[in-house]
Chains A and B, each alone.
Chain A
Amino acid sequence: MLHLVLFLVFGAICVAGAINLLVQSHPISSALSLVVVMASLAVEYLLLGAEFVAAVQVIVYAGAVMVLFVFVIMLLNAGVEERTKGSQVALILGIPGVLAGGLLVAWVLIERTGTATVGLGALPGFPKTIGNLLFHDFLLPFEITSVLVLIAIMGAVVLASRPEPKNPEKES
């Protein structure tokens, strides 16, 4: 009972945050709505027992990646966005299309999972057990993703650096 109530409350906050993200016209409001969605998703993970994943979601995703987004929005001084012809067409065709697709996928998934239920804290994800899995069974993906992050850092530094000012030609 408590599980259902908590799930519904935080699920409602997630959906409200997602719809606010779509409705707002200023990117900073969309970014902060996403932070709210991530925080309530962290609570949903806690309800399923994934405590380490919830903590990492808050620290890494909501606390670092979204801070990066907020930085870039502040640096580029992005203003309120304007409506163009392309976005009007996307509104009329896109929303019903996505909703139909989503309903189809949802119907298939519900048929397949049947009446399976999960309890409060169903699969406790202690840091120790997750660490064991990460460094034994999933060692190769772990190493590959670390190389990926290194490449991303180097790429970002190169892409975002200012081009060197050319020295003026000396008249001889």
Chain B
Amino acid sequence: MVPVSYYLILSGILFSCGVIGFLIKRNIITIFICIELMLNGVNLSFVAFAAQWQHLSGQVFVFFVMVVAAAEATVGLAIIIAVFRTRETLNVDHVNLLKL
């Protein structure tokens, strides 16, 4: 028997690591990876609460989060490829002019 708060602490640690990575990293792909890490932390919270309150909707909602994360990753990576073709850099600090 594990207290629910342990699962929430783990979820919180993963989410905080995602936010820290989002702030300190400068490569656009790594920033996207940190967004996925945040979404995974949230998924763990959903499943833990579903187990605590014995309500399966928590597990069903994880599916929707995964689908939205997949759609967002697809479009985001397509944008990155398009940006890379013109600016030829993946560092966000260098993509600072509206028109080259």
Contacts and interface: CB of A to CB of B under 8 A. Distances in A.
Interface of A: 3-4, 7, 11, 14-15, 18-19, 21-22, 27, 30-31, 34, 37-38, 41, 44-45, 48-50, 52-53, 56-57, 60-61, 64-66, 68-69, 72-73, 75-76, 78, 81-84, 86-87, 90-91, 94-95, 98-99, 101-102, 105-106, 109-110, 113, 115-119, 122-123, 125, 129-130, 133-134, 137-138, 141, 145, 148-149, 151-153, 155-157, 159-160
Contacts, number: 241
A84 B26 contact: yes
B75 to A, nearest CB: 5
B34 to A, nearest CB: 7
Given A72-B80, A81-B30, A57 B74 contact: no
B37 A78 contact: no
Query: Which of B30, B40, B70 has the most CB atoms of chain A within a 10 A radius of its CB?
Result: B30
Contacts of B25: 22, 81, 87
The size class of the interface chain B forms with chain A is: 35 or more
Interface string B64-100: 1011111111110111111010000011010000000
Contacts of A14: 10, 13-14
A154 to B, nearest CB: 10
Given A113-B8, A118-B51, A133-B57, A65 B73 contact: yes
A67 B66 CA distance: 15
User: Which 5 pairs, one residue from A and one from B, show the smallest C-beta to C-beta distance?
Assistant: A152-B71, A159-B78, A18-B17, A122-B51, A102-B16
B60 A130 contact: yes
Interface of B: 1-10, 12-21, 23-27, 29-30, 32-34, 36-37, 40, 43-44, 47-48, 50-52, 54-57, 59-60, 62-64, 66-75, 77-82, 84, 90-91, 93
B48 to A, nearest CB: 7
Contacts of B56: 123, 125, 129-130, 133
B69 A65 contact: yes
Contacts of A78: 27, 29, 90
Given A65-B36, A98-B19, A116 B77 contact: no
Contact of A31 (B16, B33, B40, B78): B33
A30 B30 contact: yes
